């Protein structure tokens, strides 16, 4: 009995409470990892063992960079809290399955060191490290990050011309239809972890049951995407289409595993709902009106940035304060919840209508502006014409251009180049004044280069000569390839004849000598690829003009040139 004195020699004293939950940060993080396992298993089963290697390498990169950073900065080592593993897994599951290993590993280092540790480590980063790293990789290695190596599309139920190698969402955007079962099971291309909705929902259910996440963010997010798509997807309440939009494009993965990230999401209950709505609207916007079909990552990243603002304005009313004082009844709470739902819905609706309205209002002017830009290019190249007639008006011409494209892609003599259009410029009495050819070369350094080339008969000889080129689309390297737009390069094409001797289209060649001959073009120094692409495009245009002149239109064209030479004599 006297042992009390002994045993209480040094009792601990601390402020209440003296009990603590068993749940720790490491347990929560481990639960998130466990919840991602079904998706990972499916990814490995579907895409092969290499996916597992990608995941392992990414996780390793994250954990090692966290350890190394903390070690060298003299901070306590926190890799045991599993947060770096979670970051690594989320990043890996966002990777295309056949990506070279160094890309996700670089992403892992970026995520941990730049996004997480430089901002102060766990709990301090304002962007989801895995997502920020994914966006970083998407911008830096666009080709590899969007290469899903899709050869066949067994999941596609219709065939859409010109759409190959697309993810289901891109395919749907292009007007195709996909098999819903494949979407649910995950028999589709995509990143390692996003494809199987069923596997992801198993993981999500695990997180909900374990109390790791609540439904507020995922539900408001998915519902908003649903409402937005129903309003602006152009297919109304078509359940098949809505289901496709929800199952595809990593929305489920994003909603349950990325938007629910603790550190970068709002704390307040209403804030979480508003956050879900905002990223839902952004996702819808990016998907339906943006350039790419996928928008989940960028939407969540933008939501992360808005989080402190959302929190500031959604501090809940304290128990017994404000609205709770007015109502004496128990239904106060349910009324409140209804209010949140109604407000949420109203916000979605209003912002959706506003955004949609802006789109509708600006769509026409934008189209008109594009058209005007095209016309001004025509006007510049073949001035003074009354009408510019599209090649679709003449069956013969369209057929001729189709033949040329076939020939070009078969022979490959000018690389990967396509003639888009041949426009015939006519005067008031319908006589042909000249041609404008619209060509795209797909082998620019920075992607497609689209140009228009003008042709008119020479005032004296009647020989058909180029009146110059105009760029419609070019995205080459500034200071190098972009010099193509400067007169020094561009003007070389002006006055070059379309035909060579013997009634064949003239083929220009690129020289680096600096002293170009009649059929040569001086390369832009340091940008041979761009120079070649533009020259090849002009050569293809020459072929198209040659075909146009040789066809039945040529007679009119000669007459026009005779007329113009008469005019010249006067």
Partner 1 sequence: MNSATFKGGTHPFEGKSLSENSEIRFAEFSGDYVFPMSQHIGAPAKPCVNVGDHVLAGQKIGEAQGFISADVISSVSGTVKKVEPRMQVSGQPQMSVVIESDGKFETVSGIGEMNDWQSFSKDDIRKAVKDAGITGMGGAGFPTYVKLMPKDDEAIDYFIANGSECEPYLTSDYRLMMEEGEKIVAGLKICLMLFPNAKGVVAIEDNKPKAIAHMTELCKGEQRIEVRALKTKYPEGGERQLINAVTGRYINSSMLPADVGAIVDNVATIIAIYEAVALSTPLMEKVITITGDAVAEPSNLRVRIGSSYKDALLFVGGLKKEAKKVICGGPMMGQALFDLDVPVTKPSSALCVFEHDEVAEKPTTPCIRCARCVNACPEFLVPPMMVKAATNGDLEGFEALNGMECMECGTCSYVCPARRPLTQIFKQARKMVMNKRRVEAAEKRQREELERIASEAAEAARAAALERLK
CA 483 – CA 490 distance, rounded (Å): 9
Q: How far is the CB of 79 from partner 1 (least distance, A)?
A: 13
Q: Which of 50, 67, 241, 324 binds partner 1 (CB under 8 A)?
A: 324
By C-alpha distance, which of 400, 438, 443 is closest to 541?
438
Size of the site for partner 1 (CB under 8 A): 54
CA 365 – CA 427 distance, rounded (Å): 28
Q: Which of 88, 96, 108, 121 binds partner 1 (CB under 8 A)?
A: 121
Judged by beta carbon, residue 143 or residue 321, the one nearer partner 1 is 321
Q: Are 317 and 323 in contact (CB under 8 A)?
A: yes
Q: Which stretch binds partner 1 (CB under 8 A): 116-124, 128-136, 139-147, 478-486?
A: 116-124
CA 213 – CA 498 distance, rounded (Å): 68
Angle at 219 between CA 286 and CA 134, to 5 degrees: 45
With binding defined as CB under 8 A, does residue 311 bind partner 1? yes
Q: Are 428 and 435 in contact (CB under 8 A)?
A: no
CA 469 – CA 533 distance, rounded (Å): 13
Q: How far is the CB of 311 from partner 1 (least distance, A)?
A: 7
Q: Which stretch binds partner 1 (CB under 8 A): 55-63, 107-115, 118-126, 250-258?
A: 118-126
Contacts of 528 (CB under 8 A, 6+ apart): 510, 512
Q: Which of 51, 55, 83, 426 binds partner 1 (CB under 8 A)?
A: 83
- List, as one string, the DSSP characters of 433-498: EEEEEEEEEEEETTEEEEEEEEEEE-TTT--EEEEEEEEEE----TTTGGGGGSHHHHGGGTT-BS
Site for partner 1 in 491-520 (CB under 8 A): none
Q: Which of 28, 115, 230, 553 binds partner 1 (CB under 8 A)?
A: 28
Judged by beta carbon, residue 10 or residue 143, the one nearer partner 1 is 10
Angle at 213 between CA 207 and CA 217, to 5 degrees: 125
By C-alpha distance, which of 136, 135, 126, 133 is closest to 261?
126
Q: Are 272 and 214 in contact (CB under 8 A)?
A: yes
Judged by beta carbon, residue 323 or residue 363, the one nearer partner 1 is 323
Q: Which of 149, 325, 392, 488 binds partner 1 (CB under 8 A)?
A: 325
Q: Which stretch binds partner 1 (CB under 8 A): 156-164, 229-237, 328-336, 406-414?
A: 328-336
Judged by beta carbon, residue 5 or residue 570, the one nearer partner 1 is 5
Site for partner 1 in 231-270 (CB under 8 A): 262-263, 265, 267-269
Binding mask 187-226 for partner 1 (x = CB under 8 A): ---------------------------x------------
Q: Which of 154, 162, 291, 320 binds partner 1 (CB under 8 A)?
A: 320
With binding defined as CB under 8 A, does residue 149 bind partner 1? no
Judged by beta carbon, residue 12 or residue 143, the one nearer partner 1 is 12
- List, as one string, the DSSP characters of 224-262: HHHHHHHHHSSSTT-HHHHHHHHHSTTHHHIIIIITT-T
Annotate 135-144 with b (16+ C-beta within 10 A) or e (fewer).
bbbbeebeeb
Q: How far is the CB of 129 from partner 1 (least distance, A)?
A: 13
Residues that bind partner 1 (CB under 8 A): 1-4, 6-8, 11-21, 23-25, 27-28, 78, 81, 83, 121-124, 214, 262-263, 265, 267-269, 272, 311, 315-321, 324-325, 328-333
């Amino acid at each position: 009995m006297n042992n009390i004195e002994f045993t209480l020699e040094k009792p601990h004293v601390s402020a209440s409470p003296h009990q603590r939950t068993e749940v720790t940060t490491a347990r929560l993080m481990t639960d998130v990892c466990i919840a991602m396992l079904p998706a990972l298993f499916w990814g490995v089963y579907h895409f092969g063992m290499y996916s597992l290697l990608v995941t392992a390498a990414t996780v390793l990169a994250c954990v090692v960079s966290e350890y190394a950073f903390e070690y060298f900065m003299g901070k306590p080592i926190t890799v045991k809290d599993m947060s770096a593993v979670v970051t690594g897994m989320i990043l890996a599951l966002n990777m295309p399955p056949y990506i070279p290993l160094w890309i996700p590993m670089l992403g892992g280092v970026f995520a941990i060191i730049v996004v997480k540790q430089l901002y102060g480590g766990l709990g301090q980063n304002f962007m989801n490290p895995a997502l920020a790293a994914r966006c970083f990789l998407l911008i830096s290695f666009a080709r590899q990050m969007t290469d899903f190596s899709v050869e066949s599309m067994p999941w596609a139920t219709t065939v859409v011309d010109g759409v190959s190698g697309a993810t289901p969402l891109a395919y749907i955007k292009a007007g195709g239809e996909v098999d819903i079962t494949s979407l649910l099971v995950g028999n589709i291309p995509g990143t390692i972890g996003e494809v199987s909705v069923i596997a992801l929902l198993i993981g999500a259910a695990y997180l909900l049951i374990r109390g790791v996440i609540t439904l507020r963010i995922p539900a408001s997010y998915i519902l908003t995407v649903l409402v937005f798509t129903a309003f602006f997807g152009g297919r109304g309440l078509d359940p098949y289409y809505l289901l496709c939009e929800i199952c595809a494009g990593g929305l489920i993965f994003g909603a349950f595993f990325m938007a629910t990230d603790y550190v970068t999401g709002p704390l307040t209950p209403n804030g979480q709902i508003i956050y879900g709505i905002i990223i839902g609207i952004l996702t819808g916007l990016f998907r339906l009106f943006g350039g790419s079909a996928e928008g989940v990552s960028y939407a969540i990243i933008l939501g992360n940035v808005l989080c402190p603002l959302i929190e500031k304005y959604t501090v809940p009313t304290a128990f017994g304060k404000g609205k709770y004082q007015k109502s004496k009844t128990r239904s106060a709470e349910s009324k409140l919840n209804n209010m949140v739902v109604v407000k949420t819905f109203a916000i979605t609706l209003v912002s959706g209508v506003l955004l949609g309205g802006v789109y509708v209002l600006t769509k026409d002017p934008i189209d008109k502006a594009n058209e005007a830009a095209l016309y001004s290019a025509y006007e510049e190249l073949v001035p003074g014409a009354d009408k510019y007639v599209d090649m679709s008006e003449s069956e013969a011409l369209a057929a001729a251009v189709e033949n040329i494209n076939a020939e070009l892609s078969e022979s490959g003599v000018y690389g990967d180049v396509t003639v888009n259009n041949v426009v015939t410029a006519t005067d008031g009495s319908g006589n042909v004044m000249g041609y404008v050819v619209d060509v795209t070369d797909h082998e620019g350094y920075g992607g497609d280069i689209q140009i228009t080339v003008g042709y008119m008969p020479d005032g004296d000889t009647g020989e058909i000569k180029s009146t110059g080129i105009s760029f419609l689309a070019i995205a080459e390297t500034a200071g190098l390839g972009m010099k193509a737009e400067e007169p020094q390069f561009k003007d070389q094409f002006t006055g070059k004849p379309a035909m060579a001797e013997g009634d064949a289209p003239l083929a220009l060649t690129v020289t680096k000598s600096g002293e170009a001959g009649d059929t040569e073009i001086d390369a832009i120094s340091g940008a041979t690829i761009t120079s070649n692409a533009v020259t090849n495009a002009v050569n293809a245009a020459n072929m198209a003009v040659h075909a146009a002149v040789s066809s039945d239109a040529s007679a009119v064209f000669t007459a026009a040139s005779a007329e113009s030479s008469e005019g010249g004599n006067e």
